[in-house]
Structure 1
Amino acid sequence: MKAMRPVVLLLIAVVAAVIAWLATMATNRFSMATPVLPESALITMGVIAGLTLIMGIRVLRWRNGKKKNMLNPILAARTLILAQACAYAGTLLLGWHAGISIDLLRVSLRSGEGILWNALLMGGGGVAMVVVGIVVERFCRIPPEDFEGGTPGPDTRRGETKGEGEYAYRGD
């Protein structure tokens, strides 16, 4: 499994912002509602980010040697996938609501002030999801161990060798 690239996340956010900006311009032109998520979506975003963080802490504890039990490889894989999905979803939400915010700032602050604050809140929730996703992805990395020559050594828990950039799950 490959690590997320910040450039790809940035590209997704920019594309989503452009599409949202165009969608907001179209909905405003035809007197339709602005396509922004309601405030209740913050609860869902918080639950997703919280569960991702809890699962990531479990992997981090195992990685740091604070657990005596073997880590379930399926749990590690699910945690990594959840972290990446959280970051991608957060990026998409951030980009979408940034595009809406840009259009609302351009049109008028007075007419869409409530919607603007809503869009800014959703963008902030997207930022939180991205941060949690990236941090938990880092939790899932197995650091190389330093054995006299600075080369990766055997994993005492599994009897395997570790290289830089590997994850706790070795399913590839």
Structure 2
Amino acid sequence: MSTLRFRWLALVGLVAGFAGWLVNWLATRNGFGTPTLPLTSLVTTALIIAITLVFGRRVLRWRNGDHDRPLDPILATRTLVLAQACAYAGALSLGWHAGILVDQVALLSVRSATGPLWGSAALMAGGIIMIMVGLVVEDFCRIPPDDDGSGAAGSSEGEYA
């Protein structure tokens, strides 16, 4: 399985940012509300981050020598996929809400409502944290080069657990 590439994360963020800006521009100019996630979605974000860290910690403990029981290769693979999905979802959320924030800042001279600004900023912070957790947990799944990779099925040349 290949590692996360910063270029792809940046591309996802940029495309989502442009789409968020365009959709917000169209919505606000036609009398619709701002297309942001509600702040309660930060609870879901926190839950996803916590689950990713819990599974990543299990793989990290095994990688660091806690071999009292064998590591389930399916668990390790799912943890890696979850970490990468978390990073991509964070890039998507960060980009979307950054695009909305840019358009909302331009509207400050017209209206005084700053609710969408703070909401977008909070959701952008959640996206940044999701990206960081995804990158960290992906690193947890990496087998050190001096390890032979025993017990980890499907690891090519000792790259991932």
TM-score (norm 2): 0.92
Tell whether the 8 Å contact from 2:143 to 2:149 is kept in structure 1 after alignment. no
Tell whether the 8 Å contact from 1:154 to 1:160 is kept in structure 2 after alignment. no
| Offset of residue 80 of structure 1 | 0.5
Matched, 1:73 2:67: no
* Aligned twin of 1:26: 26
* Aligned twin of 2:148: 154
Cα distance in 1 for partners of 2:128, 2:134 equals 10
* Aligned twin of 1:62: 62
* Aligned twin of 1:51: 51
Amino acid at match of 1:167: Y
Cα distance in 2 for partners of 1:160, 1:94 equals 33
**Greater than 6 Å deviation, 4+ residue runs:** 158-162
Matched, 1:136 2:137: yes
Q: 2:157 aligns with which of 140, 163, 171?
A: 163
How many percent of aligned residue pairs carry the same amino acid? 47
Structure 1: 5+ residue stretches without partners: 146-152
Amino acid at match of 2:72: N
Cα distance in 2 for partners of 1:138, 1:19 equals 30
Deviates more, 1:154-163 or 1:115-124: 154-163
Distance 1:161 1:5, change over 3 A: closer
- Larger Rg computed on CA atoms: 1
| Offset of residue 156 of structure 1 | 5.2
Number of equivalences: 160
Cα distance in 2 for partners of 1:161, 1:111 equals 55
Cα distance in 1 for partners of 2:21, 2:152 equals 51
| Offset of residue 106 of structure 1 | 1.2
Cα distance in 2 for partners of 1:79, 1:161 equals 14
Structure 2: 5+ residue stretches without partners: none
| Offset of residue 161 of structure 1 | 8.8
TM-score (norm 1): 0.87
Distance 1:85 1:162, change over 3 A: closer
* Aligned twin of 2:42: 42
